[in-house]
A and B are shown apart, each in its own frame.
Chain A
Amino acid sequence: MNNIAPVPPAQGFADATTPLVKNCWYIAGLASEITRAPRARRILGVDVALYRTLAGAPVAVRNRCPHRSFPLAKGRLEGDELVCLYHGMRFAPSGQCTKMPALPLAPASAAVRSFPVAERGPLVWIWPGNPDHADEDLIPDTSWLSDPLWASVTGQFHMRADYVSMHENLLDQTHFPFLHPGTVGTPDFVRSTLDVREENGMVIIDRSLPNSPPPGIYAMPMDMAGQPVNRFSEARFASPAMHVAFARLTDIDRPGETKREWRFNITHLITPETNNSLHYWWFCSRNTRLEDKAVDRFMYEGSNQAYTEDVEALQWITETILQDETPQLDLNFAPDKPGLLMRRRLRYLADLEAGLLG
């Protein structure tokens, strides 16, 4: 006799209350943040201690001694082993206990949970889910962040918002001229043709806008302010951890002239801290004027301004939702299609992990 009720496959959409998708590579931190000094960061609801071995390999273990819950990141490193400051229990990078001073032999069954990690360029990725699924081939491509033919500026935020709304904000380009006038938004963009598709679990938006001046943030490095160019952009929900936008701008057709091309890759890395807070890193990369510090400054300031506007907006929305006692079913309009496809994908992944799907 099996008393398990069959659960129908979910048709729903993720929101801030949906369980976070764990079987995914997320950013644990910038490579530069993870050092020989252990640091703590909460990742998908779990406190993690991050450090490096003597050979430089990043390590992530649960920031909680399995003996009496002392935060291990407050301990010290001896060689590659993390020593708990409370009773001196020591742990290898694999999480295995190597010494418990109060016992004659290290208990073979004692271990702290360790997480698969992988370093790629300026990023250290972590797999918070079932480690037996942690295939490094699933780490999304960010090769331009360490490619000498590209230059990047970067910034980070800790924000009180859910990752579903964050992804939706990034897929929603119709807010650009209103929330970000002057930087990324131009009035024409709202009406540009939009093509949405789903591919390998990604939601991809293509837009093209021929013969239109570039937005402020690109106009300066291109030195094309106010001049018409052809604009192509692809924005993708690459995974629950990443959104990336590839912008390509070219000269308009002029018979007999070679067209120049400018490319900008915008990388958004999102690691939920809890259901209602997240760690956010952005990189704005360009393939032009790589050494120009004035361009660095300009792109950093413009990006930082736009993303600060996004962060503020999402925090206001979160506050509104959390404080309001009367629920509301938000309306959806045609441009929300990419966001809804992303929400459906996140819900599918969450249901899959919860075992709700056959």
Chain B
Amino acid sequence: MVNQRLTVAVSGIRQLTPRICEYMLTSLDGAKLPEHEAGAHIELYLRPEPGGQIVRHYSLIGGTGRGDDAPNTYRIAVQRERGRGSNFIHDHLDVGSRLAISPPRQAFALDRTDPHSLLIAGGIGITPIYAMLRSLARRKRSFSFFYSGRAAEELAYRDEVLSLAGERGQVHVSGIVEPRHPDLRALLAAQPEGTRAYVCGPRPMVEATRAAAAALGWAPGRVRSELFGAGSNVPARDFTVELRRSGREVKVGADCTILEALDEAGIPTLSDCRRGECGLCPLPVLGHDGALDHRDRYLSPASREAGKALCICVSRLNGARLVLDA
């Protein structure tokens, strides 16, 4: 599982909104791709020149309406944002382009035994929510669906998801100038007892949902969330890593983690979860000219304080030069 990559070819492109394109990614030999469940995502490994590798996470949409995609094909949707990743995809991927992806990973699972599920999508956050909506509708489970965005024409899959949700679906258009944000607290308060909420959207929306749930006395586990653009939700900057033992220097771009940059440079590393949890990747820190930006959930406060180790899969440097023992 560690670092396994698959090669796929773009087999179809569809413009969904002025800023969002849908891409069909098909295995080269037509063989089945690994199976996935609603909420799963893949990583795309992009290699724009110049600038080095970029890794981006995209949810698997799984199909259209009630139907599944062919087992040899994944469907993703990419919104053009500031930054290199999504622009590279929009500008350079054509039908036939090949690219490397990870197998599906699941960090936003739908609990199949919820008495009632509330799906909340903000903008491009619709992608995993669409897969969840399909799963719930197909299994005839109890759910509500809420989809909000700045403008009606920016809501990808709007007609498809509303037809799937039927009368349990609701759209909120907040407007671009003086936006009118949805009343998430009222939305949550209107749900039946025992509801679990799944929210995917921009950070303020996810945080507002969590705050509304807390204010209503919901246990934290009753809200599951995913931020879109998971790889780029905190601003990051370029820096250089010196690997003292191997006598090498590696540039880490703002779009790339230290781990990915070391992998790309052929430096042997250990990793598994790539989200700061498993504790396999930390490297000893020998020096740094800026603050260490710890983003993991593994290192204890004491070892962060000591500054002698860094989880290189998520953590970064707010500086120009980092020296690691590797």
A136 CA to B106 CA, complexed, in Å? 24
Tell whether A4 pairs with B111 under 8 Å between CB atoms, given A104-B298, A132-B135. Answer: no
A110 CA to B278 CA, complexed, in Å? 9
Contact of B139 among A93, A132, A354 (CB under 8 A): A132
A109 adjacent to B71 (CB under 8 Å):
no
B140 adjacent to A108 (CB under 8 Å):
no
B38 adjacent to A132 (CB under 8 Å):
yes
Any A CB within 8 A of the CB of B113: yes
Q: Which residue of A is nearest B32, CB measured?
A: A355
**Which residues of A are found within 8 Å of B138, using beta-carbon distances?**
132-133, 135
How many whole Å from A152's CB to the nearest CB in chain B? 29
Q: Contact flags (1/0) for B61-89 with A, using CB distance below 8 Å?
A: 01000001011100000000000000000
Contact of B30 among A5, A108, A134 (CB under 8 A): A5
Q: Which residue of A is nearest B111, CB measured?
A: A94
A1 adjacent to B109 (CB under 8 Å):
no
B71 adjacent to A354 (CB under 8 Å):
yes
A2 adjacent to B96 (CB under 8 Å):
yes
A109 adjacent to B106 (CB under 8 Å):
yes
Interfacial residues of chain A within 123-173, with CB under 8 A of chain B in the complex:
130-137
**Which residues of A are found within 8 Å of B129, using beta-carbon distances?**
none
A108 CA to B277 CA, complexed, in Å? 8
Any B CB within 8 A of the CB of A181: no
A322 CA to B275 CA, complexed, in Å? 48
A47 CA to B28 CA, complexed, in Å? 31
B37 adjacent to A130 (CB under 8 Å):
yes
A97 CA to B180 CA, complexed, in Å? 39
A132 CA to B140 CA, complexed, in Å? 11
B72 adjacent to A134 (CB under 8 Å):
no
Tell whether A111 pairs with B32 under 8 Å between CB atoms, given A2-B96, A132-B38. Answer: no
Any A CB within 8 A of the CB of B279: yes
Any A CB within 8 A of the CB of B271: no
Contact of B113 among A94, A132, A137 (CB under 8 A): A94
Interfacial residues of chain A within 91-120, with CB under 8 A of chain B in the complex:
93-94, 96, 102-105, 107-111, 114, 116
Q: Which residue of A is nearest B139, CB measured?
A: A135
A4 CA to B278 CA, complexed, in Å? 38
How many whole Å from A136's CB to the nearest CB in chain B? 7
**Which residues of B are found within 8 Å of A5, using beta-carbon distances?**
30
B11 adjacent to A2 (CB under 8 Å):
yes
How many whole Å from B306's CB to the nearest CB in chain A? 15
A137 adjacent to B140 (CB under 8 Å):
yes
Chain B: residues with Cβ within 8 Å of the partner, total of 38
**Which residues of A are found within 8 Å of B9, using beta-carbon distances?**
1-3
Q: Contact flags (1/0) for B106-117 with A, using CB distance below 8 Å?
A: 110101110000
A5 CA to B31 CA, complexed, in Å? 11
How many whole Å from A80's CB to the nearest CB in chain B? 11
B107 adjacent to A355 (CB under 8 Å):
no
A103 CA to B298 CA, complexed, in Å? 7
B139 adjacent to A130 (CB under 8 Å):
no
Tell whether A355 pairs with B278 under 8 Å between CB atoms, given A2-B11, A94-B111, A105-B297. Answer: no
A107 CA to B297 CA, complexed, in Å? 9
A134 CA to B113 CA, complexed, in Å? 11
B30 adjacent to A109 (CB under 8 Å):
no
A111 adjacent to B109 (CB under 8 Å):
yes
A3 CA to B96 CA, complexed, in Å? 9
**Which residues of A are found within 8 Å of B109, using beta-carbon distances?**
94, 96, 111
How many whole Å from B223's CB to the nearest CB in chain A? 14
**Which residues of A are found within 8 Å of B277, using beta-carbon distances?**
103, 105, 107-110
How many whole Å from B75's CB to the nearest CB in chain A? 14
Tell whether A3 pairs with B278 under 8 Å between CB atoms, given A108-B107, A109-B107, A131-B112. Answer: no
A135 adjacent to B72 (CB under 8 Å):
no
B72 adjacent to A4 (CB under 8 Å):
yes
Q: Which residue of A is nearest B275, CB measured?
A: A109
**Residue from B26, B32, B71 whose CB has the most chain A CB atoms within 10 Å:** B71
Any A CB within 8 A of the CB of B261: no
**Residue from A2, A7, A103, A137 whose CB has the most chain B CB atoms within 10 Å:** A2
Contact of B71 among A111, A116, A355 (CB under 8 A): A355
Q: Contact flags (1/0) for B276-289 with A, using CB distance below 8 Å?
A: 01110000000000
Interfacial residues of chain B within 183-199, with CB under 8 A of chain A in the complex:
none
Interfacial residues of chain B within 204-258, with CB under 8 A of chain A in the complex:
none
A104 adjacent to B297 (CB under 8 Å):
yes
Q: Which residue of A is nearest B97, CB measured?
A: A1
Q: Which residue of A is nearest B105, CB measured?
A: A109
Interfacial residues of chain A within 255-295, with CB under 8 A of chain B in the complex:
none
Q: Contact flags (1/0) for B1-28 with A, using CB distance below 8 Å?
A: 0000000010100000000000000101
A1 CA to B70 CA, complexed, in Å? 17
**Which residues of A are found within 8 Å of B35, using beta-carbon distances?**
130
B107 adjacent to A1 (CB under 8 Å):
no
**Which residues of B are found within 8 Å of A108, using beta-carbon distances?**
107, 275, 277
Q: Which residue of B is nearest A107, CB measured?
A: B277
Any A CB within 8 A of the CB of B273: yes
Q: Contact flags (1/0) for A7-19 with B, using CB distance below 8 Å?
A: 1000000000000
Tell whether A1 pairs with B95 under 8 Å between CB atoms, given A94-B113, A103-B298, A109-B106. Answer: yes
A132 adjacent to B26 (CB under 8 Å):
no
A110 CA to B297 CA, complexed, in Å? 14
B107 adjacent to A136 (CB under 8 Å):
no
B37 adjacent to A132 (CB under 8 Å):
yes
A136 adjacent to B105 (CB under 8 Å):
no
Q: Which residue of B is nearest A1, CB measured?
A: B96
**Which residues of A are found within 8 Å of B107, using beta-carbon distances?**
108-109
**Which residues of A are found within 8 Å of B38, using beta-carbon distances?**
132
Tell whether A136 pairs with B139 under 8 Å between CB atoms, given A104-B300, A130-B35, A355-B71. Answer: yes
Any A CB within 8 A of the CB of B134: yes
A107 CA to B113 CA, complexed, in Å? 22
A134 adjacent to B298 (CB under 8 Å):
no
The 7 nearest A-B residue pairs measured at CB: A355-B71, A1-B96, A132-B135, A107-B277, A4-B30, A355-B70, A135-B139
List 9 A-B residue pairs with CB atoms under 8 Å apart, sorted by A's residue number.
Answer: A2-B26, A3-B28, A3-B29, A4-B11, A94-B113, A103-B279, A105-B277, A353-B71, A355-B70
